[in-house]
A and B are shown apart, each in its own frame.
Chain A
Amino acid sequence: MSTFTPAPGAAPVVRQVLTQASMETRLMLRNGEQLLLAVVIPVIVLIGGVRGAERVDLSYGVAEFAPGVLALAVMSTSFTALAIATGFERRYGVIKRLGTSPLSRTGLLCGKVLALLAVEVLQVVVIGAVALALGWEPSVSVVGGLLTVVLGTSAFASLGLFVAGALRAEATLAAANLVYLLLMAGGAVVLPASAYGSFGDVVTWLPSGALGEAMRSALGSADIAWRDLLVLAGWTAVGATLTARTFTWE
């Protein structure tokens, strides 16, 4: 057989997905801004929140901040980081290029989700370790925690892909960061919804509030917050529908 004698064929689907996932994970971890968003900012918020709360004698401590910051980390990776990365993939023709490779659209999506989960594992390890060092004593529902991470990721990822598919790369960059900041400040991610007074009822319907509340239940009182998980599932449906209707490869 000569060098280029045709022998076409797709690699096994599992290998394709793992290849894609490992590539996307490496690219995310190699990117300084992404790492800042994924690990550095959450750790600063955690330490700053806990120390600041002690100083001003706020009623919240590491028990609230640790799950809140973990929720923030999930949001930053699955929404902001994913939207920005995907926006630039569209801009640079990566999605178009992969569109003629054997990797299917579903395979691409699975690869992206696996990469997000891989980064989230890293975030949980780092942020969890810092929280434990700050004296966190979690009371964990493993099922609740896993469901929260998975549904939180799917809700924010589907919304992130919608933004990336609808806007130009620069606009995606701006919008994804803006939404992240707004939700961090006012979306009941880091602080419980009860901290927002009468507005608290509204924010638990936001994906950020639902994610934060579900995480606090899972890691604070070993509960499964079905209502909040259902809200996240609802946002997943909304995001996935919008993305499926609007996403184009260019």
Chain B
Amino acid sequence: MSEPPAVVVDGLVMRYGDKVAVDGLSLTVEAHTITAVLGPNGAGKTTTLETCEGYRKPQQGSVRVLGLDPVRERRALLPRIGVMLQSGGAWGGVRAVEMLRHVSRLHAHPVDVDLLVDRLGLGDCGRTAYRRLSGGQQQRLGLAMAIVGRPELVFVDEPTAGLDPAVRRTVWELLEELRTDGVTVVLTTHYMDEAERLADRVHILDKGTLVASGSPLELTRGGSVATIRLVVTEPFPPGSPDSLAVSLGPGTEVTQLDAVSLLVTGPADASTLAKVSRWCEDNGVLPESLTLGQRNLEDVFLELTASAAPAVETELTP
């Protein structure tokens, strides 16, 4: 069964004044998947999402959501998508369930409000005014408002930011159930474990462009690759990543994460570990910790987006 993609972003450019927020971004979201859009702050995630939601008009390039132009065909698109904003979105004086019921009445075939309230554990605060809800309760209400209209596609912006672990799990299960029931989910998140657990596909953004995409398994190369995280007591001397890479030989990669930590990616064997130790000895570097692990999504993310961090460090220590 091959369905057209739910979202196609093609060569999108968005600027705020002189600042380029999105720089020629192209990506697709396949229907009936959970797709995570990751990236450091300022990578252009929210701008991209808001362009898909029709809030902003593409300055260059094009965006198609469910085959429609989100700006020109907004009225046709809106009932078919659900949007969870990062914050806010309700009157201060409105009661939680009252707000959800209000949004549900704008739709033709809404999900039963009581069921949703129950599923997201909003029953206890149902009569509480929105401004008196906790951050986590506001988040869950925001998610409920996004899905109450039975959309085909939902955009959720950091759905579990600030939630306690038990509630996070509830939200994850709900998002997985949405996928099972045929809803396409696009989520942005700062939590790599969230993306790794939920996402069928991950797009990593940095400085407004796509730097990697694939399934979590593809991105981490199926866990067959090991990582060694080396943290030292004093900043590395200049050229350390290259010098270490030479000592290790082919098949390994060295990425500087910050002034005092390096990430080595390569075959998981004792010889690599020994070579790293020897390099430390030869270069008079004192390791504070040497951690061996499987390469996870967080490592991939840091490798791809860490380039800015050492540059800042060198500015600070001329």
Q: Is A197 on the interface with B (CB-CB < 8 A)?
A: no
Q: Chain A contacts of B169 at CB under 8 A?
A: none
Interface size of A by Cβ–Cβ distance < 8 Å?
A: 32
Q: Chain A contacts of B115 at CB under 8 A?
A: 3
Q: Chain B contacts of A100 at CB under 8 A?
A: 53-55, 78, 81-83
CB distance from A216 to the nearest CB of B (A): 35
How many inter-chain residue pairs (CB < 8 Å) link A and B? Answer: 117
Instruction: Enumerate 8 A-B pairs (CB-CB under 8 Å) in ascending A order.
Output: A4-B178, A7-B108, A8-B107, A9-B150, A20-B106, A97-B90, A100-B55, A100-B81
In chain A, residues 67-90, which have Cβ atoms closer than 8 Å to a Cβ of chain B?
Answer: 88-89
Q: Across the interface, do B89 and A94 meet the contact criterion of CB distance under 8 Å? A: yes
Q: Across the interface, do A101 and B150 meet the contact criterion of CB distance under 8 Å? A: no
Q: Chain A contacts of B102 at CB under 8 A?
A: 19-20, 23
In chain B, residues 210-232, which have Cβ atoms closer than 8 Å to a Cβ of chain A?
Answer: none
B-contact bits for A100-114, CB 8 A (1 contact / 0 none) = 111110000000000
CB distance from B87 to the nearest CB of A (A): 7
Contact of B105 among A6, A11, A27, A89 (CB under 8 A): A11
Q: Across the interface, do B91 and A5 meet the contact criterion of CB distance under 8 Å? A: no
New A-B pairs, 12, CB < 8 Å, besides A11-B107, A23-B102, A96-B88: A2-B180, A4-B177, A4-B182, A8-B80, A9-B108, A15-B105, A89-B91, A93-B90, A96-B55, A100-B54, A101-B78, A103-B106
Q: Chain B contacts of A93 at CB under 8 A?
A: 85, 87-90
Among B78, B81, B183, the one with the most A-chain Cβ atoms within 10 Å of its Cβ is B78
Q: Chain B contacts of A59 at CB under 8 A?
A: none
* A12 closest partner in B (C-beta): B108
Q: Across the interface, do A3 and B108 meet the contact criterion of CB distance under 8 Å? A: no
Given the known A-B contacts A27-B93, A94-B91, A100-B54, are A5 and B150 also in contact in the complex, defined by CB atoms under 8 Å? yes
Q: Chain A contacts of B81 at CB under 8 A?
A: 8, 100
Q: Is A198 on the interface with B (CB-CB < 8 A)?
A: no
Q: Is B192 on the interface with A (CB-CB < 8 A)?
A: no
Q: Across the interface, do B53 and A102 meet the contact criterion of CB distance under 8 Å? A: no
Q: Chain B contacts of A92 at CB under 8 A?
A: 88-92
CB distance from B179 to the nearest CB of A (A): 9
Q: Is B44 on the interface with A (CB-CB < 8 A)?
A: no
Interface size of B by Cβ–Cβ distance < 8 Å?
A: 41
CB distance from A169 to the nearest CB of B (A): 11
CB distance from A106 to the nearest CB of B (A): 11
Q: Is A25 on the interface with B (CB-CB < 8 A)?
A: no
Q: Is A182 on the interface with B (CB-CB < 8 A)?
A: no
Q: Across the interface, do B89 and A3 meet the contact criterion of CB distance under 8 Å? A: no
**Chain B: residues with CB nearer than 8 A to chain A?**
53-55, 75, 78-83, 85, 87-94, 98, 102-103, 105-109, 111, 115, 145, 147, 149-152, 177-178, 180-183
Q: Across the interface, do B178 and A10 meet the contact criterion of CB distance under 8 Å? A: no
**Chain A: residues with CB nearer than 8 A to chain B?**
2-11, 15-16, 19-20, 23, 27, 30-31, 88-89, 92-94, 96-97, 99-104, 249
Q: Across the interface, do B107 and A9 meet the contact criterion of CB distance under 8 Å? A: yes
Q: Chain B contacts of A9 at CB under 8 A?
A: 79, 107-109, 149-150
Q: Chain B contacts of A99 at CB under 8 A?
A: 55
Q: Chain A contacts of B107 at CB under 8 A?
A: 8-11, 101-102
Q: Chain B contacts of A101 at CB under 8 A?
A: 78, 103, 106-107, 149
Q: Across the interface, do B145 and A97 meet the contact criterion of CB distance under 8 Å? A: yes
CA distance A4 to B150 in the complex (A): 6
Q: Chain B contacts of A96 at CB under 8 A?
A: 55, 85, 88-89
* B87 closest partner in A (C-beta): A93
Among A5, A8, A27, the one with the most B-chain Cβ atoms within 10 Å of its Cβ is A8
Q: Across the interface, do A8 and B105 meet the contact criterion of CB distance under 8 Å? A: no
CB distance from B95 to the nearest CB of A (A): 10
Q: Chain A contacts of B75 at CB under 8 A?
A: 104
Q: Across the interface, do B151 and A8 meet the contact criterion of CB distance under 8 Å? A: yes
Complex A-B, nearest 3 residue pairs according to Cβ-Cβ distance, in ascending order: A9-B108, A93-B88, A97-B89
CB distance from B39 to the nearest CB of A (A): 22
Q: Chain A contacts of B182 at CB under 8 A?
A: 4-6
Q: Across the interface, do B181 and A102 meet the contact criterion of CB distance under 8 Å? A: no
CB distance from A65 to the nearest CB of B (A): 32
Q: Across the interface, do B150 and A7 meet the contact criterion of CB distance under 8 Å? A: yes
Q: Chain B contacts of A10 at CB under 8 A?
A: 78-79, 106-108
Q: Chain B contacts of A23 at CB under 8 A?
A: 94, 98, 102
